[in-house]
Structure 1
Amino acid sequence: MTVTAQIDSTRPVATLINVFTVPPDRQAELLALLARATEETMRHRPGFVCANFHASHDGERVINYAQWESEGHYRAMLADPEARVHMDQAAAIATDVQPRLFHVRSTHGG
């Protein structure tokens, strides 16, 4: 089943936006690792909703936009040793990792 992000200010999800700074020659490697980690581990954790990965045109950034049912589900994933393995591998590729949780406050369409 494919689940896509539903960006909706009325949904009580925890939104993770994680910005990875990466050497351009390793951007594809990081993207592959994140996709594999999501398929093998993250999507099987309680409360996981979806994950989306964005690659900057200059090759220097990867952004993970993910949703969890609650902050508690996200925090439980962080404490999971199996999930930590993947996060540590990603941190070894990236030169900087900046994860933050957000609440969607408004959405606008065209």
Structure 2
Amino acid sequence: MLNFAAVRRTTLVGLIAATMTIPVFSQEVNSTAAPVLRADPDYLTMINVFTPTSGTQDEVATAIQKGLEDSVSHLPGFINATVHKSHDNEYVVVYAQWKDQASVDAAVEAIQGGGAPAMMQAFTIANPDFHPYDVLSVHVAKEERRP
């Protein structure tokens, strides 16, 4: 059982802000979705790095995706999340944006209350490290360089 007292509030906030066995979620459900990254100081951006226990990278990513798809993405204030799997099988990184801190706080309460069991599963099989950020700028390829 996860000891919430031992997990910093920022860690819980980051977990919520989290989108891998990949075919189920990102390639089928969200294959054409393109998250809009906003350089908006009123948005809360979280970059979340999960370090799975040995051999559980896919399980961690799947738990995060399930939690996002089944519950977190339906919460007020959730904007988007992308899940990234490192090539060395050592990390799962989640980039997410929320409307504001109040939305994140409400989501933390929902998860703590049992509203997203798959997200809690990710905590039991990975060591999370989360930090809030401000997006300073967003850059895209210039028209002449796009394929």
How many residues end up aligned between the 2 structures?
109
Asked if 1 retains the 8 angstrom alpha-carbon contact of 2:66 and 2:118, the reply is no
Q: Matched residues in 1 for 2:95 and 2:74: separation? A: 17
Aligned twin of 1:85: 117
Aligned twin of 2:136: 105
Aligned twin of 1:18: 48
Tell me which amino acid in the other structure corresponds to 2:61: L
Aligned twin of 2:72: 42
1:63 aligns with 2:93: yes
Tell me which amino acid in the other structure corresponds to 1:53: V
Greater relative CO, 1 or 2 (CA 8 Å, sep 6+): 1
Q: Matched residues in 1 for 2:48 and 2:96: separation? A: 8
Aligned twin of 2:22: none
RMSD across aligned positions (CA):
2.1
Tell me which amino acid in the other structure corresponds to 1:20: F
- 103, 110, 133: which one aligns with 1:73: 103
Could you list the per-position Cα deviations for residues 51-70 of structure 1 after superposition, in whole angstroms to 9, with x for gaps in the alignment?
11000011010011111111
Alpha-carbon distance, 1:108 to partner: 3.0
Tell me which amino acid in the other structure corresponds to 2:67: A
Structure index of larger Rg:
2
**Structure 1 residue runs of 4+, over 4 Å off?**
none
Instruction: Give the SS at the match of 1:59.
Output: coil
Asked if 2 retains the 8 angstrom alpha-carbon contact of 1:4 and 1:50, the reply is no
Structure 2: any 5+ residue segments left out of the alignment? Answer: 1-28, 142-147
Alpha-carbon distance, 1:73 to partner: 0.5
Structure 1: any 5+ residue segments left out of the alignment? Answer: none
Asked if 1 retains the 8 angstrom alpha-carbon contact of 2:83 and 2:92, the reply is yes
Q: TM-score, normalised by structure 2?
A: 0.65
Asked if 2 retains the 8 angstrom alpha-carbon contact of 1:42 and 1:48, the reply is yes
Q: Matched residues in 2 for 1:10 and 1:108: separation? A: 14
- Higher relative strand content: 1
